[in-house]
Structure 1
Amino acid sequence: MTFSIELPNRTGVGDPEKIDSSGHVVLIGANGAGKTRLGIWIEERHQNKYTVHRMSAQKALTIPEFAQLKNLEQAEKDLIFGRSDQHATVGRKIHDRWGGTPATFLLSDYDKLLSLLFAKSSERDRKHTENTRQSQSYILVADAPIDTIVKIWGDIMPHREIKFFDGKVLVKKTDEPEYHGKEMSDGERVALYLIGQCLCAPDNSIVIVDEPEIHLHKSLVDKLWNKVEELSQTKTIVYITHDLDFAASRTDANKIWIKSYNGNNVWTWDEVPDEETLPENMILEVIGSRKKILFCEGDAGSLDVTIYQIAYPNYHVIPRGGCDKVIESTKALRNNVALHHLDAVGIIDSDYRESEEVAALLAHGIKTIAVAEIENIFCVESAVRVVAEHLTQDPNQVVEKVTQYILSALISELELQISSMAERRIQYLLGAFSKSSNDKQGLTGGLGVTLGRIDVDVIYGECKSEFDAAIASNNLDELLRVYNRKSLPARISGILGLANGEYKKLLVRLMKGPKRQAVTTALQTYLPTLP
C-alpha cells in the first residue's frame, strides 16, 4: 500500500505538503524544535484515513507479573485505542490512549502489548488446530509475532534467550539462572517493547516512533531497526529523533529537518539536502547547528579542537581529521546550493604553505594559523609566559630557555625541515597540472608547463632563506612559524618542571579555568580572525 504522508506547509500558510513516503521517514531536530508535537499532528491528520499507531518517548517500561489473557479483538482495540469496549474509536483515542494530553502523557501500555502478543499466538494456535482437523494432515505452523520476537532477540542479543510462557516473559543469560522479564534491564525491556509494538501494528498502517534509540546501546540500534523494517514491508515507520547517528543510519529513509515550532501548528522544516562529498551525519549536524560552522583539523576530543572551541565560542566546531578533509568540507558546504546560506569557514595549519597557496585557500573561506602546526600555538611566547606565571616561575627566564631549546632542536634537523618545506611547495605546484588540449600532445604540453614552473634550486633556496631568517631572529614566535614538529609542546614540558606532555594539558586547564581570558588572548594573536 502506498501512503500519502503530509506535513504542515513549511511557509506556515496554505495546504499541507505531501512528502516522499515511498520508504520510511525520519523527522530530526534539536530538543525544543517541536518534533513530538509534529508527530501528534501527523497522527491526528492521518488517523481517519489510515491506522496510525504512535509510540511516545514518555513511556513506562514496567512488565507485569502475568499478562492478562484476552481475545484477539479485545486486545487489539486495547492497544490501538486505549480501551476495548464499544467506545473504542479513533475519535476517543486522544482521551482513552493519551489521557487528553498527547504531548506529555506517560504512556503505560506494556501490559496491553503483552496481552496482544499472547492473544495473537492463541489465535494462531486455534486456527492451526482447526485447519489440521479439517485437512487431517500436517500443516506448517506459521510464526506468530512472539516467534518472530524470539528470533530477532537471538540475532541482536545472542547471549540472552527470551521465552513467552503461560502469560509470562522469561529471560535467560548464558550459564545463568532464568529470570522474570520484569527484572530485565532498561535496554532489554525497551527492545522487546519496540519490536512488539511494530509487529503488532496492523498491516497498511503508519507507525510513529518517538526516540527510537532511547535506552538502546549504539551497537544494538541499527540491528534492531534494520530487522524491524525488514518485517514491516506493509507499514511506513515515521521516526522522531535528535540522534544524528541514528538518522544517518536510516539510509533509505526520507529525512526531514525540523528547525523550530512556532505554535498554532506552524513548524519550520526542510528536506535534508544531498551532498556527495560530506557524510550524511555531518550534513545533519551542520544544518542542525544554530551557530556558524568551523571545520578544523584534528579529531573529536583532541586538545587542538578544544582550543578552537574555546577561542571561537560563536562557531560550531567540527573536526575533520586532516587538512584535505577540512578544505573539501568547507568548499562543499559553501558551494552547495541548498546549504550555501550557512556561514562556513575552515582553519588549517600553515604547514609550509607559501603566500600564493594561502591566498588561493582564503578565496574559498579557508584560513591558516600563524604557526606551522596547531601544536606550536601551545609554545608561543605569550602562552609560555602565562604558564610560567601560574607556576610562579620567572617568565623571562622560561621564555629564554624554551627559545634556546627549540632553536637547538631546529638546527639539529635543519636539512630535514628545509627539504620538507621544499617538498610541500613542489607538491603544490604539481597539483596545478592541467592538460593544454584534449589529446596526447595536450598532456605532454601541460606537463611541460607544470615542470617548467618548478626550479628545485630556487625553491630550496627560498625555503632555506626562511629558516635562516627565523634562526637569525632568535625569536620564539618566528621559530614556531616555520618549525614543523608536533611534539614540541610535550618536549618543553621538562623546562617548566612538568612531566612529559603535561605542559599542553595544563595550558588547556588554565584556558578552561580562571586564566581563560589571559590564555585565550595569548593564543588568539596566532589564530585567524573570524567574522
Structure 2
Amino acid sequence: MSDIDNVEIGQKFIGTIGLKDGGTLNISLAKGETLYVLGGNGSGKSSLLYHWARNSSSTIFIAGNREVVFHSSAVSISAQDARQRVDWAKNNISNEQSRVEKAYHNSVDRLNALLFSLKSASDDTNRVYRQAHQDGRESELKKIAANEPTVLLNEALRRASIPIKVDWDKNSTLVVRKDGYEGEYGVREMSDGERAALILASEIILGDKNAVVIADEPERHLHRSISSPLMQYLREIRPDLSWVVATHDLSLPRDDVGAKVVILYKYFGQHIWQAELIVDPGALPASLSEAVYGAREKVLFVEGTEASRDRPLYQQIFSGITIVPVGTCRDVCDAIAGLKVVPQLHHMESRGLVDGDNRDDSASLQEKGVSVLDVYAIESVYYHPRVIASMLKNSAENVSLKEVEKSAVEAIKDTLHLAKMTAYRSYREKHLRSLLDEATFSSTVTDALTIDGPNLVSMAREKLEQLKAEGNWLEIARCYKIKATGAPQAIARKLGFSGFEQYERAVIKALANFQDLRTEVKSIVPDPFV
C-alpha cells in the first residue's frame, strides 16, 4: 500500500520524510491547513521542500533565495513565450541542481512570465465584468470587481502595511503609486522588500486551484511585521490551498492555531533526516530556539487559556508579538519571573497584560513588567465607546453613539447578580495576592483575613445603580463584567448585527482593515513593551 493510500479523506498527500532510523514521517494536509518546517541552518529545510515540489503534481513553489529583479516593468513577451517559460520552470524543478542554481529560481524570464500572467488575468476579469454588465447581472459586478487580480494585490500590500498601489497603464506597464509621493514609477524601481511581497502575493493569487503552496523562508526578504499579515491575507483569499512554509520565525507557528510543525534537526543527504513532528507548536523545544534565533523575540503573557476567545483580539492588537495565555494574573507574573531567572536559555523579551478587575495593585504589577487594562476585561474593549463609535462609521444603521450606550445600559437588568460577580472577583484577586509562599508561611504569624461579603456586594450594587442612573456606560465597562449581561447583544443589534459574536468578528476584521480603529484600540489597551 502506498503512502497516498493511507491519507485520510479530505487530506492531500504532501510528501514523505525519510528518517535516519529507517522509519518515515508521512505528511498530509487539508485545504487551508499549514505545515511549518523549522530547523537551524544546514538542517535540510530547502532540500526537503525541493524534494516535495519535485514529486507533487500541483505546486505553487516560492523559492527562498529567489531573484527579485524585474528586467522591465512592462509586459514584454508573447503568450507563447510566457507559457513556455512557465512550463520550463515547472519541468526543470525536477533537476537535482535546481536548489543551488540561480536559473531555476525567479530568473528574469520567469518574472516576465509572471507579469504577463498578471496582466492576462486582469484582462480576463475585466472581460467577465463587461459581459455581466451587458447581461444585466448587476448583483455579480461587485464580487467580480473585488476579485480582479490587481485589486487583490493592492489589498495584500495594504494588509502588509506597504504604502503603495499598483495598476496597469495604457502601455501594459505595471506602475506604482506611493503614499506621500507624487507621480508614478515602474515595479522594477520598487524596493527589494516591496518587489518580494508583490511576487509572493502574485504567485498565490494566480496559482492553480487546490494546489500546495511550498514557500521557503518568506521572511527572507520581508520583515515579520510584513510577512505575517501578508501570509494571513493570502490564506484568507485562497482557502482552497494547502501550505508548507519553511521558516526561522518561531512566532508564525505559535500564532497559527491548529497548524502542524515538523522540526528538522539534521540532514544526512539522500533524502534522510533526523526529524520530529510536533503536535503542539506552543511546546517548541528550547534547543530549536537557540538554533534559529539570532534576535530577541517579544512574548506577551496574558490571562486565560489557549482556547480563549480573547486570543484573536490580542493577536490583532499586538501583531508581531507572540501571545501566550497562562491562566491567572499570578501565573502571568510567575511566567515573566521564570524567564528572567534563566536569560541564558532564551532570546525572549517578556511582558504581561492582565484584566482591570478593579485592581489596586497596578503600580506593583508595572514594576514586574505587567500592564493593567483600563477596562474590566479584555473583551470589554469590543464595547468601549470609542470602538463602538469607530464601528458606527461603517454601519448602515442610522443610530447615534448615545443611543447605543443608552440601549446597553438599559440591557443590564439583574444588578444584584452583576454586583456579586464583580465583588467576588475583586475579593478573589486580593486574597490570591495575600497568599503566603511556603517559606514565608512557616515563619509568619498573621491575623485571618476578614471578609464582609454582603457589604462588598452592596457597595458594588449601589455604585452600579448610580452609574446606570447617570447613563455612564464607559464607567460600567471599566468596573463590571459586562459580558455577563445583555449589553453586548444590545450593542451588536443596534449596530445591525445578528448578535455579539458576529459583531466581535466584525471588530477583528475591521482592526485588520482600518487604521483609525487600530489607533483607537491601541489608545485603550496599554502596550507593555513601551
What TM-score comes out, normalization by structure 2 length? 0.49
Higher gyration radius (CA): 1
